[in-house]
Structure 1
Amino acid sequence: MGSAYQFHSWRVFVIVCALPCVSSVVALTFMPESPRFLLEVGKHDEAWMILKQIHDTNMRARGQPEKVFTVNRIKTPKQIDELIEIESDTGTWYRRCFVRIRTELYGIWLTFMRCFNYPVKDNTIKLTAVWFTLSFGYYGLSVWFPDVIKHLQSDEYASRVKHFRNEEVSHFVFNFTLENQIHSNGEYINDRFIMMKFKSVTFEDSLFKNCVFEDITSLNTYFRNCTFVNTTFYNTDLEQYKFVDSELINCTFFHIRTGCQISFDDDYSAYWIYFVNFLGTLAVLPGNIVSALLMDRIGRLTMLGGSMVLSGISCFFLWSGTSGSMMIGMLCLYNGLTISAWNSLDVITVELYPTDRRATGFGFLNALCKAAAVLGNLIFGSLVGITKAIPILLASTVLVCGGLVGLRLPDTRTQVLM
C-alpha cells in the first residue's frame, strides 16, 4: 500500500478470511426459511410456496419444466412441550435451576442417542469412521506440510552457506550486510563494523582487537569461542546469549537493544507462511468446481470414496518432494483432491439422516471432526523432524481406509430421508 502505511501480514490474512463469512451473513438474509420450520409455526402457505419453488427449480435442471408440483398430503411436525414440576412452591432457586439443567441435559442425551437407534445406527457408525479418518488425515497434513516446507527451505538455505577461514583484516570499515556466512579462525584488528546487518552469520574461534561495533542489527548471529579485546559495542542488539563460550576483555557496551529485534522487512519467512496457505487454499477452487459438476453424475459415494483414495495415493508422491517448491505443488494437489471428499461427505451426511435427527447427527460428526483435527495436529506435529515415510504411510493408510468405508454407505441418490 505504499510507503505511507503498511498492514502486517497476519492482519491482511485475517481480513481476507473474514470476507466470505461476512458475505455469508448478508446472503442468509435473502434465503427463504425452511419449510419444516414454517410448518411448525403454522405458516402452511409459505411452506407450500417454498416447496413449490424447490420443485420447479429441480425440474428445470432436469429438463422437465412442464411437470406440475402436486402434494397429496403434508404431515405437520409437532413441537413437544414438556411441563416439569420443579417444586415451585417449596423448592429453592438453586434446586429449581439444578432440576431444569439436569432435565435439559437428559433431553440432549436422549436426542443424541437417537442417532444410534434403528434405522440410522449403521449409517452413524460408518459416517463416524469416514469423518474421523478424513479430518485426521487432512488437518494432520495441514500442520505437517508448512513445517516440512520450512525444514526443506532451511536445509536449502544452509547448503548455500559461505565459509571464510583464516581471515586477517585490519583497519577496515565494514558497512554492508553479511548473510549466511561462517567465519572461522579470523583476526580482526582495529576494524569498525558500522550500520550493518548480520543475518545467519557465525564467527568461530576468531579474535577481535580494538574493534568497534556500532548500529548493528542481527538475526541468527552468534560468536562462538571468540575473544574480544578492547572492543566497544554501541547501539547494537548483540546480547550476552549471542556470545557462546567467548571471552570479553576490557569491552564496553553502550545502549544495548534488548528484546526481539527481528526485522520483517528483511526476513520474509512470515510472509511465506501466508503465501503457502494462500496457494493451498486456492487449489481448492478447481476441486469445488469439479465436485459441483460431477456429484450428481457419478454419485456421492463414488466421489467420496474416489477422492479419499486418490488423496491417500497422492501422499506417496511426497517422497519425491526434495525442495520447498515441489512440496508446495504436492500440497496444492492434495488439497484439490481432498475438497471433493469434503463436499460429498457433507451432502451424504445430510441426506442419510431424517430431519428430526439431521441437526444432531451433523453436529455430533462436526464435533468428532474437531477432535480428530486436534489429534491429527498433535501426532503429525510431533513427526515433523522424523523421516517422511512415517507421516506419509500414516496419512495415506488412514485416507484410503476411510474412503473404503465411505463406499459402504447406502446410496443417497434414490431417496432422501425426510
Structure 2
Amino acid sequence: MTTFKTITDHMKVLGATRVIFKPLANNDNTKQQIYLGSDFDVIRSIPSGEIYADGISKKGPIFKAPLDFYWMDEEGNTDQAPNSQIILYPKYPEIRMSGFLAGTNRKLDITPRHLMQAPTLEERAARMGTHRYLVLGVNKSTIWAYCTAWEDELAFELQQLVTDSKANLVASVFYESVVVGKTSEEKLLDKLRTIYEGGPIESCRLQSDGTKIPYKAQNGAGYTLEAQFDITPNGFADPDFMDWELKSHSGSVVTLMTPEPNTGIYIDDGLKTFMDSYATRKQDERLDFASRHDVNKENGKTNLTMKMEGYDAKSGKITDPDGGLMLRDKDGKLAAGWSFDKVIEHWKRKHSNTCYVAYTAYKDKALPHYLYGPQVTLGQGTSLEHFLKSLHNCVIYYDPGINMKLDKGKWKPKKRSQFRVKWKDINQLYRSLRELDLREA
C-alpha cells in the first residue's frame, strides 16, 4: 500500500526539503490546467525559473515561469515534464500550472496521464465530492510530483490529515503536515535569545571559508547578525534561517530589497552616462546618485520622477505586462526602470516570513559593537498587491546609494539600488505583525 510516508521518503531521497499537497478539483486537468489559487504567495512555495512577461489575453496581462518538474511513481522512479510552467494572471489574480504532461516519456509509464485528462460529463458527475491529491516535493530549484487516484488509500489518508487538523494550510491551496517538535519560529527565537544574552558583538562579516573578519563600515549591523547565523554576504534573496528572512533595524528605516534596474539609460548606455546625466558631482572626482524617489513626485536633486506604468491604482492591479517602475526625466526619457516581471521575480524570492531584530550600536571602541534585541518583530503574510500598493502610496520608496569615484584615471562604480520603508510604516506590508521580547519565555 502506498502511504504518504512512502511518497515523502522517496521525494526526500531525490532531494526534496519540503513536501506539500493539494486536493484537485475536476477542473484540474490538461485542458483547464491545474489551479494554484489566487494568492501569489504560492510562487514562493513552488520553485520556478525566471518570470517573464508574455503579452495580454482575455484574462489580462500574463506572466510565465518555467518549472524544473518531474513526475514520480510509487517506487521513486521519475520522468521529467520539460514543458511545465506556471502562468500568473495579476488581473484576477490567479495562478495556474500547465504543460505538465507534454514531452514526458510515454514508454516509462510514470506520468499519470489517465489522472490528468479532462472528464466527460458522466465522469464529472460521478466524481463530485471526491478528490485526487497532488503531492509536491520541492527544494530551492526542483519539483517532484505524485498524483493519487480518486478515493485510493493515499487520497483518504491525506483527506484525514486535513480533517484531523494535522496539516497546515500553505499559500491558500496547499497543505503541509504539522511539524513534530519545535517549529522554525521557536528555533529562530531560541537562537536570537542566545545571541542577546551573549551581549554586544564586535562588528564583523563572515567570509566564504567560514572565518569571521572585523568589519569597519557603518552598515555592519546586518553583516554581524548574519555572521552569527553562519550566513555569508552573497546578495541572494533566499531566506536566511529555515523559512525566515532576517533583518536588523535601529528603529528608523529598513531596506527591503536591492534589485538593479533592467531597462533605461542605466542599462542601455551604461552607468557612467546615467551618472553624468542625473547624479550630483562632487568636485571632479566623484559622482553621487543618492536621494529618495517617491512615485509621482519629482526629485529636486535628480529632476527624475518615479512612475508606475501599466498599474491601475484603483483596482491595485497590473494592466500592462510591459510596464513597471520607471524613472523618467522632464523630457520623458527613461533614465532607469524595473519591469514588472523583474519586480515580481525579486519579490517572489523574498520570503513571506521576516524577523526584524532591533539593535543598539556602541561606537566607543575601535570597531562598533552591536547588541541585538531584546525586541524582535515577526512579520508574516505579505502579498504582491500589498507591495505594489505600498509603492504607489509612497510607503515603499526608492533610496539609491550609487556613486562613482575617479581612481587613477578610471571611474570605479559602487551600485546599491535600495527600496526602503520607514519603520513606523512596516505594519502596512504584512497581514500579521507581532512584537516579542526575548527576555520573556
Q: In which range does the TM-score fall when normalised by the shorter chain?
A: under 0.3
Q: TM-score, normalised by structure 2?
A: 0.21
Q: Select the structure that is richer in helix.
A: 1
Look at both structures and tell me which one has the larger radius of gyration over its CA atoms. 1
Q: Select the structure that is richer in strand.
A: 2
